[in-house]
Structure 1
Amino acid sequence: MAGYLSVVGGLYVFQRNLMYHPNQTIATPQSFGVPEMKAERLPTPDGFPLLAWWRPPTTADAPVLLYLHGNAGHLGDRAEKVRPYLDAGFGVLLVTYRYNAGAGGTPSEAGLTEDGRTALAFLKAQGVSDDSIVLYGESLGTGLVVKLATEQRYRAVVLEAPYSSVADVAASIYWYVPVRYLLKDRYDTTAIIKDIQAPLLIVHGTRDRVIPVRFADRLFAAAVEPKQFLLIDEAHHTNLYDYGMGKLVLDFLSDLPARRP
C-alpha cells in the first residue's frame, strides 16, 4: 500500500512534467524553409513574450490560420506542416507557448489558454477579422482551440489528432491510478465542443497510439453540425502530413461558404 501511494503521489506531483515537454530552441523561419515568415514576440498580459512566426495573407479575402501546436518540440518542427497554407496564400500565425523558447513561463491549462488569446489579440491588431480566422490545433493544442472557438465565432476549426479529454487519455494509460481525481489540467473538450459555432474538421490516423481513434470518435460525436471526421489509414500521431493532410484541410476550407458580410 505504501508503494502504491508513493506512485500515486509521484504522478500527482510530477504530472505536468509528464504532460508538457519544454523546448527552449529559438527557431528562425529562415532555418526551417519558411523565409517568408517573420519571427515576432507576443507579450501575454502576465508578461511572457511568446515566440511566434507570422506571414500575412497574400490577398484581402484569404483565410488566416492560427496554429497551436502540441506539447513538445518547437516552431521549426511545424514548418513543413504550414507550407501548404503559405503556398495557398493564407496568412499563418504559428505560435509557441509560455514554457518554450525562452519565454520564462511554466505550463498550465489556464496559462496556455491565455497564450492562445494573446495570439488572437495579435491577429486583431493586424486587422484580421474573426470570420477570416481558421483555428488549427495539433494534439494538445486541440483542447486550447476548442476552448477558444467557444468564445467567439471564427471561420473554421481544424483539429489534428484530438482527444475527448486529457482525463480520458490519462486514464487509459494509468488505469491503476484514480487520475480523474488527480488531474490539474483536464482539457475537457468533449464537454464544450457543442458550443462551437464554426464548421469543424477532425483528422486522425488509424494507427495513432498516442491518442487512439476512439477518443477522437467520442469528441466528434459530441460536436454539432457542420462537422467532418476524416480518418487517414495507416497514419500515426505525428505523420498525418506524410499522408496528405494538407490537401484534406485545403479542400475542406475551399468548400466553406463565403465569408459573412
Structure 2
Amino acid sequence: MPESVSLSAQTQLLTCDPNLPVDANWFDANYWQQQNALKGTGFGRGAVWFIHNKHGDFVIRHYRRGGLIAKFNRQFFLYTGLQHTRPWQELHLLQTMQELGLPVPKPIGGLVERSCGFYRAKLITQVIPNAQDLFEVLKAGKSDSVDWFNLGQVIHKFHQNGIYHSDLNCHNIMIDKENKIWVIDFDKCQQRPITEQWMQENIARLERSLNKETAKHPQFSVSQTQWQAFLEGYRG
C-alpha cells in the first residue's frame, strides 16, 4: 500500500517508490515549468500536466468533480480518513494490479490537502511511453491497426482478477508502439467479487463509448466484425 508522510497537520504525502525523491513540489506544475520540465497539458474533467525529468516521464492529475455538483464544488471531497481518499485508493489499486501483472501505469504518489473536514488531492503516475489512446487511433481512421481480439483478452484478464473500471471507454485504453494494450485512469475503480452482471455492464459501457464517438467523428468507426473479434477475445 502507499507510504504516507505528514508534511503538516493538514497535508499528507503518499509515495509508492522509495527510489524516487517525491515531495510536495512534484505536484506543482509551476515547479516543473521553472525547471523546463513541463512538457504539456491535457484537459478532461480536470487539467493534467505532463512532466519529463531525469527520473522519467510522469503525469499529474488534479482530482475534480463532475456532474451537477461541479457547478458548486469543483475540487473538494468529504474527508473520512486517509485510506478513503481517492488518491490513496487509486494508488493502492494500481499497486495491486501491478502485482497481478496487469498492464497499468506505474503509481508514483499522491498529495492530500485537508481543510474544514474536506480535502482536495492530486495524483502522479508514470506516462506510458509511445502510446496513443484508442480514441485517437480510431479517430484517425486506423481501426484496422487495432488487434481487437487481443483487446478483448486484455479486458477479460482485468475482469477475471475482479478489477471493475468505473469508466471503461475508448479514452482510457492505450496502445503503445509495440501494440501492447494498457488501461488507465482508475479513479473510483475497485477490485470486487466477480459477477457476470458488472462485467457485462462494463463491456456495454465500452460499446456505448465507441458508438458515441462514431456518431461525432467522420473517420471514427468500429465494424461489426471488429467488435465481434473483441467479444471473441473476451470470451476466450
Structure with the bigger percentage of strand: 2
Structure with the bigger percentage of helix: 1
Q: Which has the higher contact order (CA 8 A, sep 6+)?
A: 2
TM norm. shorter chain > 0.5 = no
Q: TM-score, normalised by structure 2?
A: 0.30
Q: TM-score, normalised by structure 1?
A: 0.28
